A and B are shown apart, each in its own frame.
Chain A
Amino acid sequence: MTDTIKDVSKLTIKDVPNKDYFIWGHGACPGCGVAIAVKNIMKILGPETIVYVPASCLVVFGAQYPTSAFEVPYFFTAFENTGAMATGIRAALKRRGKKAHVVGLAGDGGTFDIGLQALSGAADRNEDMIYVCLDNEAYMNTGIQMSGATPFGAWTTTSPAGKVISGKRSFKKDIDHIVAAHGVPYQATLSIAHWNDFVRKVEKAKQVEGFRFLHVLTPCVPGWRSEASKSMEIARMAVETGMWTLYEAEKGESALTYKPKKMEPVIEYLKLQGRFAFMNEDDVNTLQRWLCHKWWLHYKDEVEAPPCYIYRTEKPMHMDGDPLHGA
């Protein structure tokens, strides 16, 4: 795409090449957000790409000896080292005078939690790589355990709906803020329901040099307890309710890339997924209140937020959810 269209902002999904580098025959579930995201990222990045995948669903469904759905060089070793492994691969390419995109395709656990140190190291060194976080908001490969990316109130196998404690008690970690603190050249959040935006961001990441971070919300049918046919709808509703915000930051300058017309109540998102079925009214209200604060930080008063009028007069809640901490 780079050769023909210079203005990335005018790209649409129609500009994505047909040739696949993550092909058919992989073992992902129907409606898997990760598979949809990876398939399209690989189409845009093209054949001059080396892929590193840490422990994740993708490592299981993407390639198993002696088969592979990747038609580009593929490497796997462990869970927590995406940033480091890409560093080594890039160093070798540089020494050998070879050009290729070095891409890490990690899950949320491999990014937010166990891989955070290697991510920070690579971002700090401004390694010339594209770090993709495929965020399905829990350790799905090991059977739906909560991670730092799991939203407040969500059921997982390690945040079960118990008689005393029900669902995850802390809020989703703001990994994008953490990455931004490293002053990286390019970072963006992506949704599999906003394709023109998706294509532009991957293409932009492809063209920028240095450390690039793409954070994709990838609905997970078995983990989110949702319908396979509803993955797109869920991804879209995440943005409309403020559970996901589409933006990008180039050299520290951040900009929204999509503004909803008005904020939908979070219940519209929660009710599409069984993982939130156990949330009581208080927890839904707590999550809504947290989202209202986030919404205001992201959109200010530019986008109407009807669900938030009841919180307008209250003291703003800190992002950790504790009202005592203040905003």
Chain B
Amino acid sequence: MVTRVISGDHAVAWGVRLARAEVIPAFPITPQTLIMELLSEFINDGELDADFIPGESEHSVMSIAVGASAGGVRTFTATSSQGLALMHEMLYAPPQIRLPVVLVNVNRSLGAAAGIWLEHNDSMPERESGWLQCYVEDNQEALDMTLQAFRIAEDHRVMLPVMICLDGFVLSHTVERVDVPDQAAVDGFLPKFVPVNVLDPDDPVVMNPICPPEYATEMRYQLDRTIDSTKSVIKEVGIDFAKRFGRSHGDLLDLYRMEDAEYALVAIGTAATTSRLVVDQLREGGKKVGLIRLRFMRPFPKEELREAVSGLKALGVFDRSVSFNSFGPIFTEVRGALAALHLPMTDHIGGLGGRDLTIEEMRDIFARIEENAIGKADRQVYWHGLRGQMQ
């Protein structure tokens, strides 16, 4: 093991190198590009035996990745924002075809009011596509989950693509201390990829022909159930990783000071780091608060959430994106999962388009949740850090 001080993007690149990915198609987009640049250096310096393919668009990049995965090799790519949106059509291919492509999406805002900064409105819509989707909190987790992603995706009980999401700039371009494991240790953890269905003239298969209505419903149902069943594999892989490398980043949920908590916040990514600080501050002041860090949007940990919130008087959800005129996507999902519990819940939208999420705002979020616990919340959705008054 070597300790390096590296950015989140470089942590991912080290993970991909250690995972011995074989085909890496890519197209440049900020803030993902550091990943591809470092991987290109690894390949050109002979440190990683892989084929780097400069696709001419993200749509083609995902097509190349799907083709390579269907050809039976370990495949990796990374993108952000508009790039992920351009891949959108092709993201729907590998889940149903059961191809374990690993993609890292460096979260960045999508669309007009354009910018290159952090927002989750690029990856959140893609949770409908059938990919497993994991959000990491720091650079160490970015490396560790890149390794675990290949192991989970390629497990024959899973055989699904995995998308690891990390916060643009806050992680991608910020250096942190990262323990980079030895190759031998990683080789022990991550076996060689053994494909299930391969395009091979020695054993011809027809892959993804047109599927008439007589069969499509069952195929969708199988995919839905398979995604649900991946929870046990994710847990198993996390436990094995902890045993080998002495680190765990939590289960599907990462619970912080939830033991006797009366109210809590659900958060993903680096927002969880800010909220940990605030939880500590509030605990020092005698408030019984906690944090539920959601690590996976797919599979969505419904049962685990229900268990985690038992005993709470109110729950808040932090969303770094919004479904306009509705709620933040995480709030919608969490509330759906907890509907039967009649737990008072509020949605807290903030940090959009790269706006800083400050300690003060996070304290305000917890204050609102506390109000809601005693029936004093005046609304269901709060926008934080907004200039001027909310209507």
Q: Which residues of A contact B (CB under 8 A)?
A: 47-50, 52, 59-60, 63-68, 70-78, 80-81, 83-96, 98, 100, 117-118, 120-121, 124-125
Q: Which residues on the A side are within 8 Å of B200 (C-beta)?
A: 73, 98, 100
- Contact residues on B (Cβ < 8 Å of other chain), bracket: 35 or more
Tell me the residues in window 87-117 of chain B with beta carbons closer than 8 Å to chain A beta carbons: 89-90, 93, 97
A192→B89 CA distance, assembly (Å)? 34
User: Contact between B57 and A64 (Cβ–Cβ < 8 Å)?
Assistant: no
Q: Which stretch from B36-44, B69-77, B269-277, B300-308 is at the chain A interface?
A: B69-77
Residues of A contacting B22 in the complex (Cβ-Cβ under 8 angstroms): 92, 95
B67 on the A face (CB < 8 A): yes
CB of B266 within 8 Å of the partner chain: no
- Mark interface residues in B174-215 (1 if CB within 8 Å of A CB, else 0): 000000000000000000000000011100111111111001
Contact pick for B66, options A60, A73, A77, CB 8 Å:
A77
Beta-carbon contact of A120 and B51 below 8 Å: no
A residues near B209, Cβ cutoff 8 Å:
59, 63-65, 67-68, 74, 76
* 8 closest A-B pairs by CB: A92-B71, A88-B67, A121-B56, A84-B63, A84-B60, A81-B63, A63-B209, A88-B68
Assuming the A-B contacts A50-B199, A77-B93, A96-B73, are A85 and B206 also in contact, with contact meaning beta carbons closer than 8 angstroms in the complex? no
Given A81-B60, A91-B67, A117-B60, 18 new contacts (CB under 8 A): A64-B211, A68-B206, A70-B206, A71-B204, A72-B201, A74-B206, A80-B59, A85-B67, A87-B64, A88-B23, A88-B65, A88-B67, A88-B71, A89-B70, A91-B23, A91-B53, A92-B72, A121-B57
Given contacts A49-B201, A72-B201, A96-B73, contact A65 B210 (CB under 8 A): yes
23 pairs, A vs B, C-beta closer than 8 Å: A50-B201, A64-B209, A66-B215, A73-B205, A75-B70, A76-B207, A76-B208, A78-B90, A87-B53, A87-B60, A87-B64, A88-B23, A88-B64, A88-B65, A88-B67, A89-B70, A91-B23, A91-B51, A91-B67, A91-B68, A95-B23, A96-B72, A118-B57
The residue that A72 contacts in the complex, of B64, B71, B204, with Cβ under 8 A, is B204
A89-B70 Cα distance, complex, nearest whole Å: 7
Inter-chain CA distance A179–B215, complex, in Å, is 40
Q: Which residues of B contact A52 (CB under 8 A)?
A: 67
A2 to chain B, nearest CB (A): 16
A78 to B73, CA, bound (A): 21
Contacts of B90 in A (CB 8 A): 77-78, 81
Chain B minimum-CB-distance residue to A82: B63
Whether the pair A65, B63 counts as a contact (CB closer than 8 A) is no
